[in-house]
Structure 1
Amino acid sequence: MRKLIYGMNLTLDGYITAPRDDISWGVPSDELFQWWLDQELAIGLLLYGRKLWEAMSSHWPTGDQQPDATPAQIEFARNWRDTPKLVFSSTINKVDWNTRLFTGDAVPEITRLKADDGEPMRVTGATLAGAAMRAGLVDEYEIVTHPVLVGSGTPFYPTLDNWVNLNLVETRTFPGGVTLARYEPTR
């Protein structure tokens, strides 16, 4: 059975974007960027909602060709292109870069994918991850908290039907006061 991981950068008040999809508060240090790269290298399938897919696919296909790209950014871009991706959306009709599109109900499809053998999967995007969380499909949370309060935006945590009790399995501090807390649900 495949593991499903939900992890993103978020503000101290729990948002993955500030109003108007602003993510300028979350510029990672080189050390944090390398940590994210190391995590992504272990992922066998990336699951995207439409909004995050559009953001990622607008930069990373050519991210390694940017004149100021660091070695880690070059490796991230290449890995991003090579890693299989599945976009869940009923409003777009075309995807590129080793990606396929799924227009149906995400929960049964993610459940089916989890039942397969293989490398871990990462679910990204608040709406898609929220559906996976409510269905009890998330096996690990990677919460990278930046020391900033933005007041509103897109929340990392969806409204849930039931409590989810978690076990802390790792903590780490990065430059600039950024912290990682990694949790697994108590089952």
Structure 2
Amino acid sequence: MRKLIYGMNVTLDGYTAAAGDDIDWSGPPSDELFQWWLDQELASGLTLYGRKLWEAMSPYWSTADQQPGATPAELAFARNWRDTPKVVFSSTLRGSLDWNTRLFDGDPVAEIARLKAEAGAQMTIGGATLAAAAMRAGLIDEYMLATHQVLVGGGTPFFTALGSWVNLNLVETRTFPGGVVLTRYEARR
């Protein structure tokens, strides 16, 4: 069975995006934080995306290694991003997607549970709306929050309303340059 990890940059008041899907609050990450996110991506055998996050990431990361001045970490991230198998969950996108990506328009919880039951490397899930469905279904094994020193007052929350409590164990804390604080938690089963 695969492990499912949900991790994103988040504001101190718990949002992955401010009102209007604005993510400018996070600014460019420090080299150390970017390398940490790259390491997480390299460890993943499958990435699950919601439509909004896919539409935000794919135009940039599909060609980021061709941009002048790209750092070695950005080159590695872009190449890994294209090569890693991905599933995009959307009922509005149509057609085929590039860069080792499959589109799924059915029940996301059933498909995530099916993928999780397979053998293989850990999976990551991105996009707060998609992750909320997996969270409510009890499918997430680990939560990773890179908390930035900003309050935005509203937007897209990292955590969703749940039907029952989820007890967690703290497995890591770390502070990155610029004051970003990483916390990692495993779900207690």
TM-score of the aligned structures, taking structure 1 as reference length:
0.98
Partner of 2:70: 69
Q: Out of 160, 163, 185, which is 1:161 matched to? A: 163
Pairwise CA RMSD: 0.7
Alignment match, 1:8: 8
Question: Residue in 1 aligned with 2:53?
Answer: 52
- Does residue 96 (structure 1) correspond to residue 133 (structure 2)? The answer is no
Q: State the SS of the aligned residue for 2:70.
A: coil
State the distance in 2 between where 1:139 and 1:186 align.
Answer: 8
Q: Indicate the percent of aligned positions where both proteins have the same amino acid.
A: 73
Task: Give the equivalent residue in structure 1 for 2:115.
Answer: 113
Report what 1:146 is aligned to. 148
- The amino acid of 1:15's aligned partner reads Y
Unaligned runs of at least 5 residues, structure 1 = none
Task: Give 1:78-89 correspondences, 5 Å limit.
Answer: 78-89=79-90
SS in 2 for 1:78: helix
* Aligned equivalents of 1:18, 1:66: Cα separation in 2: 28
Distance 1:127 1:160 in 2: 13
> Equivalents in 1 of 2:98, 2:177: separation in Å?
35
Gaps of 5+ in 2: none
Map Cα deviations across residues 59-113 of structure 1 (whole Å, 9 max, x no partner): 0000111112111011000000000000000100132111000000001111111
User: Could you say what secondary structure the match of 2:116 adopts?
Assistant: helix
Query: Partners in 2 of 1:55 and 1:47 — Cα distance?
Result: 14
Partner Cα separation in structure 2 for residue 78 and residue 25 of structure 1: 26
Report how many aligned residue pairs link the two structures: 187
User: 1:145, 1:30 → 2: CA distance?
Assistant: 16
Post-superposition CA distance 1:32-81 (Å, at most 9, x none):
00000011000000000000000111100001111121110110000000
C-alpha distance after superposition, 1:96-150 (max 9, x if no partner): 1110000000011111111110000001101110000000000000111001001
4+ residue runs over 2 A deviation: none
In structure 1, C-alpha distance between the alignment counterparts of 2:91 and 2:22, rounded to whole Å = 24
Question: TM-score scaled to structure 2, two decimals?
Answer: 0.97
What is residue 20 of structure 1 aligned with on the other side?
A: 20
